[in-house]
Amino acid sequence: MESSETGSGLNSNLDRRSLLTAMGVAGLTTAPLISSSMMSSADAAGQTINFTAWEYQPDTIKSLVKSWSGKTGNKVNISFIPNVGYTAGIQARQRGGKPADVFYNFAYNSQKFVNQKWAADLRGLPGADKMVAEMFPSARSRFVAENGAIVSAPYFSAVHMLQYNKKMVAAAGFSSTPNSLQETYDQCKKIKANGVASPYVAYWVKDFVEEYLHVYLLAGGVKPFDNKGDPIFMDDPKTLEVLEWWQAMYKDGMTPKSVLTDDPGKHTTSIANGDAAFYALHHYFLRDIVESKGSASADIAQAKIVGTGGKTLQMGEVIQMGGKVSGKKKAAAWDFMKTYGYKDSKGEFSTFQKWAASGALCAPYPGFFKDPKVIAAFPKYMDLSLIQDTFQNSSDIVPARTLPWYQGFQAQCGTVIHDLLLGNSNPRATANALAIACKTAKSGSGL
């Protein structure tokens, strides 16, 4: 682990998980004291916040911003950048001297942005510790760096789930969804024999396949990285089993051959029209499947990816504060971030309530799932308690995914995994290539 990259000044013997747990307890007990002694957001009225977001539900974003502005007397200038090219866009603005005060970011960029002073460390801001303390313990390390810096607040969180066609699974003679990767293959094979040409779909495009690497490693009982962020998956024999399974799924036609370039929209249409039995992706895609009103939409339900035994990947994106924001503007920006990524001034998850209603998005707080307004807002065809249980007990965020070098690994991962699926590589060589990709990403020597 290159702790110097994160600027760690902590004793390296201190376990990361212990630190985060301690932060949780400390945050819950000391936050009220700290909050009262810190700058109040009420001091910060009349500020103008420059907010940059990507274009997911821009009208919802505008209404959330308008609501906060109305309550606080601060103005927010919203700037949208298309999802495609957001990373390049936000970096170009930073380098061009036009940084945002508050901005959406991909979690894998968050620590890098703090290291580069493009984003602020939120430690010490009123309620920041409490925000972290109220999260699922499994989620905290997405927002807290190894040195204790709070790098971001949540924009949304999600878990990978298996959307499945109940009738197809039952017709193939199975009483439940798969409880292992092997069972996934077996069920697919049976369903394929029943006439569904490509039973399994997933978003395996080059730039996204890295998420599935973790989904399947976790499902196969493999811990991908150790607590220091060093890769350990290649030393685990189960990794080879996972990669063999993955290759077989593609090679044996359990997925369409076009899965390497297909978009989620196509997969949604596919399962909603009865052309696929399984669709592995974030939980909120069930909403698209049901609301597309395809011929099989009513038959689609949601399950954990490998039943009750294994874990899946918990993901989410974040909001960050610009590294140069200071004074009263900082107080206003933080108040905005708290409202957007935590709770409003009344202590309600008002932003997340809205996202739950409009996009079935979740927040990494147990309190979110108990909030009556969230429960009322969440689509009725989704099993919120199952999603909560997955967040709480059956998912892992893989902390290494937010380390500063990680995006370099992600960029190389797609080529390596595609080579495996296309039969140009075998599982052992793939595991080795992934380990080399980690090494080059860490040293910044990837091409």
Partner 1 sequence: MPNRRFGFYLALPAILVLLVLLAIPALLTLFQSLFVVPDDGIGIGQFTDVDNYLFIFKNEIFWATCLRSIVFAAIFIIGSTLIGLAGALLLNEKFVGRLFLRGLLVLPWACPWLIVGIIWKWFLDGNIGLLNGVLMRLNLISSNQDFLSNPDTALVMTALAATWRQSCLVALLLLAGLQTMPRDIWDAASVDGAGIIQRFRHITLPWLRPALTVVTVLNVIYGLMQFDVIFAMTQGGPGSATTLLSYLIYRQFFIFTNFGVGSALAVALAVIALIGGLIAVKTLYRKIEV
The piece of 30-38, 142-150, 205-213, 431-439 that touches partner 1 (CB under 8 A) is 205-213
Identify residue 121 by its one-letter amino acid code: D
Spell out, one character per residue from 116 to 145, where the chain touches partner 1: x when CB under 8 A holds, - when not: xxx---------------------------
294 is a site residue for partner 1 (CB under 8 A): no
408 is a site residue for partner 1 (CB under 8 A): yes
What is the rounded distance in angstroms from the CA atom of residue 427 to the CA atom of residue 436? 14
Closest CA to 103 of 54, 47, 68: 54
Cα dihedral sign, 229-230-231-236: negative
187 is a site residue for partner 1 (CB under 8 A): no
401 is a site residue for partner 1 (CB under 8 A): no
Could you tell me the two tokens for 214? 């973790």
Nearer to partner 1, 19 or 243 (CB): 243
414 is a site residue for partner 1 (CB under 8 A): yes
Pick left, alpha or beta for residue 7 (phi over 0 → left; psi -120 to 50 → alpha; otherwise beta): left
The piece of 43-51, 215-223, 281-289, 404-412 that touches partner 1 (CB under 8 A) is 404-412
In contact, 76 and 336? CB cutoff 8 Å: yes
From 407, 431, 434, 442, residue interacting with partner 1 (rule: CB under 8 A): 407
What is the rounded distance in angstroms from the CA atom of residue 291 to the CA atom of residue 284? 11
In contact, 132 and 139? CB cutoff 8 Å: no
What is the rounded distance in angstroms from the CA atom of residue 89 to the CA atom of residue 155? 18
Spell out, one character per residue from 66 to 85, where the chain touches partner 1: x when CB under 8 A holds, - when not: ------------------xx
Q: Nearest distance from residue 32's CB to partner 1, in Å?
A: 36
Alpha-carbon Rg for the chain, nearest whole angstrom, is 22
115 is a site residue for partner 1 (CB under 8 A): yes
Q: Nearest distance from residue 424's CB to partner 1, in Å?
A: 7
User: Which H helix or E strand runs over 37?
Assistant: helix 16-37
422 is a site residue for partner 1 (CB under 8 A): yes
What is the rounded distance in angstroms from the CA atom of residue 166 to the CA atom of residue 303? 10
From 21, 69, 79, 91, residue interacting with partner 1 (rule: CB under 8 A): 91
From 23, 44, 51, 112, residue interacting with partner 1 (rule: CB under 8 A): 112
In contact, 268 and 285? CB cutoff 8 Å: yes
Nearer to partner 1, 130 or 418 (CB): 418
In contact, 387 and 304? CB cutoff 8 Å: no
User: Which H helix or E strand runs over 317?
Assistant: strand 312-321
Binding residues for partner 1 restricted to 240-279, rule: CB under 8 A: 256-261, 263, 266, 270, 275
Q: Nearest distance from residue 153's CB to partner 1, in Å?
A: 22
Size of the site for partner 1 (CB under 8 A): 41
In contact, 123 and 108? CB cutoff 8 Å: no
Which residues contact partner 1 (rule: CB under 8 A)? 84-85, 87-88, 91, 94-95, 112, 115-118, 205-207, 256-261, 263, 266, 270, 275, 407-408, 410-411, 414-415, 418-419, 421-422, 424, 441, 444-447
